[in-house]
Amino acid sequence: MTAAGAAGRRRPPHASFANVLSSEWTKIRTVPSTFWTLLAGALIIIGFSALWAWAFTASFDQLDRADRASISPTSPMQIAFYFGMVVFGVLGVLVISGEYGSGMIRASLTAMPRRAEYLAAKAVVVAGVVLVAGLVVSFASFFVSQPILMINHLDGSLGDRGVLRSVFGGGLFLALIAVMALGIGTIVRHTAGSIVTMFVILFVLGIVGGFLPGSWGRTLNQYLPSNAGSAILAPVRQSGSLAPWAGLGVFALYTAVVLLVAVVLFRSRDA
């Protein structure tokens, strides 16, 4: 056997994409922060859904006709998502920032030097985990709030117009949030900084957008990330919002842009 042949035999095989997926799945399910982050997000969204359902019911007699008509079976869930969506983003941040903090990223990239594939595997695993958890949370939030809304006949069923799409869309929205957070964590490479960035994008911008003046302000407000993405949570298109699927599409586009920037920087910077 030639020296070249012997060297070729000794060279370890490249990790396949399936191998990386398996590795990332093992990482995410064995790290304690995954469970606690998902649990915190679930408790916040489900708990606030019940709380806001009770608030609608308790204040029903003081509401005028227009306000009563604006309440839908998913209204409590829509509000609760504003409080809990950042928590699901934290999981996406921790998946990558934790490796930078511990230095494990260098070992991971030694085993899988194709960085774009490595980041893609993380995105697939994060999206899958949060999609499943998000669907459970979204449906649980809906079903928890309906008995409370029933007191004033504000409840509904999954068969009502747009309701099933809204509840299912909640899981999709949370999955996209987690993937966007993964991209932000890759760009910032620091846990606290990434979480603050997520908070600004998902929470602060949505609040600031409500104060923008004039017709241009109202138009721009519809396209801000959280406002666009949360449109999927409404059974029918709401005034001042994008159509449900269009809004989620805009948020998916934001996510794709963040991931593209993350891949470019990930490939060009040292670990």
CA 32 – CA 90 distance, rounded (Å): 14
User: CB of 162 within 8 A of CB of 235?
Assistant: yes
pLDDT of the residue at 238: 81
Q: Which pair of structure tokens corresponds to residue 206? A: 């949505």
pLDDT of the residue at 138: 96
Per-residue pLDDT of 234-254, as tens digits, reads 998 887 789 999 999 999 999
pLDDT of the residue at 271: 63
pLDDT of the residue at 171: 95
pLDDT of the residue at 23: 87
CA 32 – CA 10 distance, rounded (Å): 37
Structural domain boundaries in the chain? 16-268
- Name residues of the chain where pLDDT drops below 70: 1-14, 271
Per-residue pLDDT of 74-132, as tens digits, reads 999 999 998 888 899 999 999 998 888 877 888 888 778 788 899 999 999 999 999 99
Which residue is associated with the tokens 């409404």? 234
